[in-house]
């Protein structure tokens, strides 16, 4: 085989894939594992290049250069051919989650908003998904005006007619929509240069080499799944083994079996996946696993639980997994992907922080007699990435012992949000007062730097991230308030708490005064759990139905979710009824509620 020279010389992914097809035509690029185990469809670099050319010709026939195209696919290799086909035609790809029959109602509103926001004119998909939309007879007039292409039926002989679109590094490659809910999704504009620059970073920081291999089940429409799961192996020139998220959820051991079988050096997942591998894979099922080749077990996209890391290492150390393999990381789509990551073959860093000080925005190590929160470092800044910790209100630099907003500057940072200049200027154009640096990307995440390590402590935004998926609290609140007129509209708060190292959902909802004595509370609490499960596919950790006046608003009418969260945690809510999967939460608020009722009875007795 002709050896492949280093790739940073290439300006675009188009140039890169052409290079791979020329110098490594028969090397395996992508292999799909049906049910997470059985080898199914695959692409060599030559086959992927040829498929992409054929798809591009169909797009070029309609002069689609610069248009936006939805990618609606099941997890597999087909979506990578469609993605590359868009690049080969100069079409801006939009990876989005494919709906299935059981989730159509939930998926359509967000799809509609994306289509409108991007003014998308094309859909690339498979016949099964196209038929699903047709059979559902959904009221979606926007789809009727779009051109649908079944890429499985593309005539491969068209590939000979492909014309290079002559795109340069500054051309947009795709839009990454960040919203995990139906609320105003925003498309992050990512150029070829963003991807090529960041892929070079990942290769250096994460230890990717052509003689390695990767396994991914992270969904292609998530930045973690697309950039590191699918694009990075192409950049590196290493084979990528793909399984579906559903295959992982059904049988977590299939993920580890694939890593073992293909001697994978890199694979990533959110914290919950490692927890599933501890809880659901019995010791007998672990026999025969060899995880000794796994160099970097990426852990990001949701809060990282040190307990889970320790338990996973203990469970799989007999099978070759090492503590140094864990690679906690932090990133976001607006920065292409990673901002920080633990260097390969180094120990993860965990700080025992004073929990009370942390709630006050201060960084202090916990002493023996103080409440402690073990906080996992998300690693060191990736290559030349610059980060400052800023006061979000004063826009000034924080002190070394202060928690502040994480601001990022790097060529890998996206240029902004599609067709949203004001929001883009606010998010991507931050500058520190009295300093000349920047502009910086405001992440909305809170944290601090210590000894070169980046730590994440929370978020300014109300965004809730559970199992790597974003959820807007107002969507959850709206779902709850539609259940019965007894629940006061616009007076509910959904927020997350960290319980045993995991981010979990809590709902606090006011009850209308006239219904407080007659409300069938057990029924309503059950209905809330079911509605959130069905609509948002989330499990609620705790629900509190409270009296009027407990859910506070700002002077401009915005729900004060952080204040409500503080009241919940301190047990100062006036609770009518509540439910929790963890009894200690209900015990705390019920004790206070009992005190209030007891005091009211004492006052009434005194008056009489």
Annotate 479-511 with three-state secondary structure.
Answer: HHHCCCCCEEEEEEEEEEEEECCEEEEEEEEEE
Give pLDDT tens digits for 162-179: 999 999 999 999 999 985
pLDDT at site 597: 39
Q: Which two tokens stand for residue 547?
A: 């009296």
For 43, phi and psi rounded to 5 degrees?
-130, 135
Q: Which two tokens stand for residue 518?
A: 């007659």
Residue 403 predicted with pLDDT over 60: yes
**What angle is formed at CA 583 by the lines to CA 577 and CA 587, rounded to 5 degrees?**
60
Confidence band (pLDDT; 50, 70, 90) for 596? very low
Helices (H), 265-412: 271-279, 306-316, 355-359
Distance of CA 575 to the CA centre of its chain: 33
Residue 568 predicted with pLDDT over 70: yes
pLDDT at site 590: 41
> How far is 487 from 93, CA to CA, in rounded Å?
42
The separation between the first and the last C-alpha atoms of the chain, rounded to the nearest angstrom, is: 96
pLDDT at site 478: 85
Residue 510 predicted with pLDDT over 50: yes
Lowest-confidence pick of 98-112, 121-135, 332-346, 509-523: 98-112
Highest mean predicted confidence (pLDDT) among 4-13, 289-298, 359-368: 289-298
Q: Which two tokens stand for residue 532?
A: 């959130």
Residue 182 predicted with pLDDT over 70: no
> How far is 322 from 291, CA to CA, in rounded Å?
9
Confidence band (pLDDT; 50, 70, 90) for 126? very high
Average pLDDT (58-87) is 97
Q: Closest by alpha carbon to 419, among 25, 90, 132, 114? A: 114
Residue 451 predicted with pLDDT over 90: yes
Confidence band (pLDDT; 50, 70, 90) for 587? very low
Confidence band (pLDDT; 50, 70, 90) for 106? low
Q: Which two tokens stand for residue 573?
A: 């809510």
Q: Closest by alpha carbon to 220, among 329, 85, 74? A: 74
Residue 7 predicted with pLDDT over 70: no
> For residues 511 and 487, is the Cβ–Cβ distance under 8 A?
yes
> How far is 240 from 226, CA to CA, in rounded Å?
12
Q: Around Cβ 285, how many Cβ atoms within 10 Å?
A: 14
Average pLDDT (409-435) is 97
**What angle is formed at CA 358 by the lines to CA 352 and CA 364, rounded to 5 degrees?**
50
Share of the chain above pLDDT 70, in %: 92
Confidence band (pLDDT; 50, 70, 90) for 329? very high
Mean pLDDT, the chain, rounded, equals 90
Q: Closest by alpha carbon to 296, among 327, 321, 274? A: 327
> For residues 455 and 377, is the Cβ–Cβ distance under 8 A?
yes
Q: Which two tokens stand for residue 20?
A: 């791979």
Q: Which two tokens stand for residue 386?
A: 């610059």
The contacts found for 600-604 with CB under 8 angstroms, 24 or more apart, are none
Question: Can you state the angle between helices 13-23 and 192-206, rounded to 10 degrees?
Answer: 60
Lowest-confidence pick of 181-195, 197-211, 214-228, 336-350: 181-195
pLDDT at site 489: 85
Give pLDDT tens digits for 203-242: 999 999 999 999 999 999 999 999 999 999 999 999 999 9
Residue 123 predicted with pLDDT over 90: yes
pLDDT at site 359: 73
Lowest-confidence pick of 257-266, 428-437, 472-481, 589-598: 589-598
Residue 588 predicted with pLDDT over 60: no
Instruction: Name residues whose C-beta falls within 8 Å of residue 584's C-beta, 6 or more positions apart in sequence.
Output: none
Structural domains present in the chain: 13-244 (3.40.50.12780), 377-459 (2.30.38.10), 472-607 (3.30.300.30)
pLDDT at site 557: 63
Q: How many Cα atoms sit within 13 Å of 355 on the Cβ side?
A: 9
> For residues 199 and 235, is the Cβ–Cβ distance under 8 A?
yes
> How far is 516 from 547, CA to CA, in rounded Å?
7
Can you tell me whether residue 522 is helix, strand or coil? helix
Residue 250 predicted with pLDDT over 80: yes
Give pLDDT tens digits for 357-382: 887 889 999 998 888 889 999 999 99
Q: Closest by alpha carbon to 225, among 95, 101, 107? A: 95
Average pLDDT (318-331) is 98
pLDDT at site 396: 97
pLDDT at site 6: 43
Is residue 9 packed enough to be buried (19+ CB in 10 Å), middle (13-18) or exposed (0-12)? exposed
Is residue 101 packed enough to be buried (19+ CB in 10 Å), middle (13-18) or exposed (0-12)? exposed
Residue 585 predicted with pLDDT over 70: no
Average pLDDT (576-598) is 59
pLDDT at site 553: 77
């Amino acid at each position: 085989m002709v050896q492949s020279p280093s790739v940073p010389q290439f300006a675009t992914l188009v140039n890169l894939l052409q290079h791979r097809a020329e110098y490594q035509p028969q090397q395996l690029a992508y292999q799909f594992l049906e049910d997470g185990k059985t080898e199914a469809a695959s692409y060599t670099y030559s086959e992927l290049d040829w498929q992409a050319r054929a798809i591009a010709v169909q797009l070029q026939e309609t002069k689609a250069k610069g248009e936006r195209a939805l990618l609606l696919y099941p997890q597999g290799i087909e979506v990578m051919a469609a993605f590359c086909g868009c690049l080969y035609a100069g079409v801006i790809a939009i990876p989005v989650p494919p709906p299935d029959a059981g989730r159509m109602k939930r998926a359509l509103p967000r799809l509609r908003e994306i289509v409108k926001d991007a003014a998308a004119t094309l859909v690339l998909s498979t016949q099964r998904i196209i038929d699903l939309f047709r059979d559902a007879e959904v009221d979606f007039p926007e789809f009727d005006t779009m051109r649908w292409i079944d890429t499985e039926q593309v005539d491969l002989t068209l590939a000979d007619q492909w014309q290079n679109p002559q795109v340069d590094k500054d051309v947009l490659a795709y839009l990454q929509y960040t919203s995990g809910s139906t609320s105003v999704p925003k498309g992050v504009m990512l150029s070829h240069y963003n991807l090529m620059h960041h892929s070079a970073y990942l290769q250096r920081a994460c230890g990717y080499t052509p003689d390695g291999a990767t396994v991914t089940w992270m969904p292609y429409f998530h930045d973690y799944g697309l950039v590191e799961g699918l694009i990075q192996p192409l950049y590196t020139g290493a084979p990528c083994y793909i399984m579906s998220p559903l295959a992982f959820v059904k049988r977590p051991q299939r993920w580890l079996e694939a890593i073992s079988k293909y001697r994978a050096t890199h694979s990533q997942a959110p914290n919950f996946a490692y927890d599933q591998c501890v809880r659901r894979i019995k010791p007998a099922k672990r026999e025969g696993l060899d995880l000794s080749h796994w160099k970097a077990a990426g852990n990001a996209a949701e809060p990282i639980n040190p307990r889970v890391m320790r338990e996973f290492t203990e469970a799989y150390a007999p099978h070759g997994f090492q503590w140094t393999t864990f690679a906690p990381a932090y990133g976001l789509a607006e920065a292409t992907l990673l901002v920080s990551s633990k260097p390969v073959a180094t120990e993860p860093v965990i700080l025992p922080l004073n929990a009370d000080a942390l709630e006050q925005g201060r960084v202090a190590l916990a002493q023996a007699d103080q409440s402690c929160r073990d906080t996992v470092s998300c690693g060191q800044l990736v290559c030349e990435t610059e980060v400052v910790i800023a006061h979000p209100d004063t826009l000034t630099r924080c002190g070394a012992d202060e928690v502040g907003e994480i601001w990022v500057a790097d060529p890998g940072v996206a240029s902004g949000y599609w067709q949203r200049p004001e929001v883009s200027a606010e998010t991507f154009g931050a500058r520190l007062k009295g300093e000349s640096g920047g502009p910086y990307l405001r992440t909305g995440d809170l944290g601090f730097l210590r000894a070169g390590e980046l730590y994440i402590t929370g978020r300014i935004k109300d965004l809730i991230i559970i199992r790597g998926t974003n959820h807007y609290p107002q969507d959850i609140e709206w779902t709850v308030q539609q259940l019965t007129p007894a629940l006061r509209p616009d007076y509910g708060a959904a927020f997350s708490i960290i319980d045993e190292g995991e981010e979990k959902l809590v709902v606090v909802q006011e009850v209308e005064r006239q219904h407080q004595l007659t409300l069938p509370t057990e029924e309503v609490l059950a209905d809330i759990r079911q509605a959130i499960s069905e609509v948002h596919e989330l499990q609620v950790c705790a629900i509190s139905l409270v009296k009027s006046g407990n859910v506070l608003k700002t002077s401009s009418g915005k729900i004060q979710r952080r204040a409500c969260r503080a009241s919940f945690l301190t047990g100062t809510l006036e609770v009518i009824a509540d439910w929790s999967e963890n009894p200690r939460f209900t015990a705390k608020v019920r004790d206070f509620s009992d005190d209030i009722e007891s005091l009211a009875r004492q006052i009434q007795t005194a008056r009489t």
